[in-house]
Chain A
């Protein structure tokens, strides 16, 4: 007799099954890391593909996020005569939240989807099976280098995003709105803490997001049905699952790290 579950029940069961399956896949990836070290060039190639090729979108978005944040803060803080604190607030917002979160969301959209689509198409065109037949382990050659590349690229991209956002805030606040340059930098350096804001905010969060987004992207690529429709659904699932995971993990990490 089939268990009686409604649509909600099925959704929960399917989600839990996906999470369990993803967890096992993570263990498989981690176990394959020693074997994948011989494919170091492939990891470097993927690092170029997911990291360096994502620089443009990360830099442009970082710049505009910093600019718009400064603009909004300046107008709000001017009501209280506190515009000199704008740079400080921009920096704290970027380091603690916007930097890691927006970078991870952009990374999921730019690199995560391409990883999923690439692996999905490799499956659909028998390239993964061909590697198996050539006695090449696809987990060590295809999955792990992409996973490691995402893990390494995310903190670096987050640093670039934060730098561009601060530059954007400076551009609007100091160059356009006339905040004193010395006040902008001195308030910022006085308040930003290396451990709380840089290590916990930027590095720790971005490493966690890099792990999750890369895992989801690679897993969806391998789990996708080898059809064009399957690949389309898998790329969509990568973005949706990554976005939800990023925001949920951000809340948990913030609660523990504050």
Chain B
């Protein structure tokens, strides 16, 4: 079991991860990962596909649990929370899924109203006003009566964002929010992330591959590989730190510390020529 220093949070850190170790289906995903996510800032988590970025978000929300290590969210150890405590914690966390995950049976209005209806007994007029304000914030008040199937990808993501902020959460997790967006929609989402962070003071964590977009919105970036943080810093300068990891990832090199070939046995044996590899 990995040794780690027990995590504690102070006022400046909302999420603190210490010694996170996770093995899935025999494959190590995290190997003693440490990370501090500052309160009130936009933090980006980057890394090659399959390095466990989305899995890390699921650990933070308690959807998955690691084999070792600690994750403290606002001072609470996620792994030790009961289901009810976890649900209470999640009421303070917004999560933007990569494919928006809107409820397809409900229209835009009802999707945004859904958490309010489930967790509050607010009068209908108040729910209506809150939903309209959130939709106005993401620029989709006029789309309230549309069904999810009638929305473009960018619109669906903005509706999901309105739903994620309906409780004014302390933390929003964005899972690849820029994927598949045209330049206009991309800039709209970027503007929303920055605006929500600045006006509401919401701590934002986003998983992304697009460095140019991350540079515009993030205050801090973590690059993860091999189950650990291999680089971190200001998104505008991290690409220049000279490490082989950053050079390969931000330079888009096909081969490097992240190998081109997925681990496999001897090629000669696979082709039936036992001596070929020699």
Contacts and interface: CB of A to CB of B under 8 A. Distances in A.
Interface of A: 121-122, 125-127, 129-130, 132-137, 141
A208 B87 CA distance: 35
Dominant secondary structure of chain A at its interface with chain B: helix
Nearest to A128: B101
Interface string B99-122: 101111000000000110011000
A126 B63 contact: no
B87 A135 contact: yes
Nearest to B86: A135
Interface residues of B, number: 20
Nearest to B62: A132
A135 B97 contact: no
Given A134-B115, A134-B118, A126 B97 contact: yes
A46 to B, nearest CB: 11
27 contacts: A121-B104, A122-B104, A125-B104, A126-B97, A126-B101, A127-B101, A127-B102, A127-B104, A129-B63, A129-B97, A129-B101, A130-B102, A130-B103, A132-B63, A132-B90, A133-B61, A133-B90, A133-B93, A134-B90, A134-B118, A135-B88, A135-B91, A135-B118, A135-B119, A136-B118, A137-B87, A141-B118
B60 to A, nearest CB: 11
Given A130-B103, A135-B115, 6 more contacts: A127-B103, A133-B90, A134-B114, A134-B115, A136-B115, A136-B118
B178 interface: no
B176 to A, nearest CB: 12
B222 interface: no
A125 B101 contact: yes
A130 B97 contact: yes
Contacts of A136: 114-115, 118
B95 A133 contact: yes
B95 to A, nearest CB: 4
A127 B114 CA distance: 12
A140 to B, nearest CB: 10
A194 B26 CA distance: 60
Nearest to A136: B118
A244 B118 CA distance: 38
Interface string B61-76: 1010000000000000
A147 to B, nearest CB: 18
Contacts of B63: 129, 132-133
Contact of A130 (B87, B93, B101, B119): B101
B172 to A, nearest CB: 11
A31 to B, nearest CB: 12
Nearest to A39: B118
A122 B106 CA distance: 13
Contacts of B91: 135
Interface string B213-242: 000000000000000000000000000000
B81 to A, nearest CB: 12
Nearest to B92: A135
Contacts of B99: 125-126
Contacts of A141: 118
A130 B95 contact: yes
Contacts of A122: 104
A134 B172 CA distance: 12
Contacts of A129: 63, 97, 101
A137 B118 CA distance: 10
Nearest to B57: A133
Contacts of A126: 97-99, 101
A136 B90 CA distance: 10
Contacts of B88: 135
A134 B163 CA distance: 9
A95 B25 CA distance: 52
A44 B9 CA distance: 46
A125 B115 CA distance: 18
Interface in B120-166: 163
A222 to B, nearest CB: 15
Contacts of B114: 134, 136
Most chain B CB within a 10 A radius of its CB, from A126, A132, A133, A135: A133
Quick one: which of A126, A135, A137 has the most chain B CB within 10 A? A135
B155 to A, nearest CB: 16
A130 B104 CA distance: 12
A135 B90 contact: yes
A154 B16 CA distance: 52
A154 to B, nearest CB: 23
Interface string B23-45: 00000000000000000000000
Contacts of A137: 87
Nearest to A124: B99
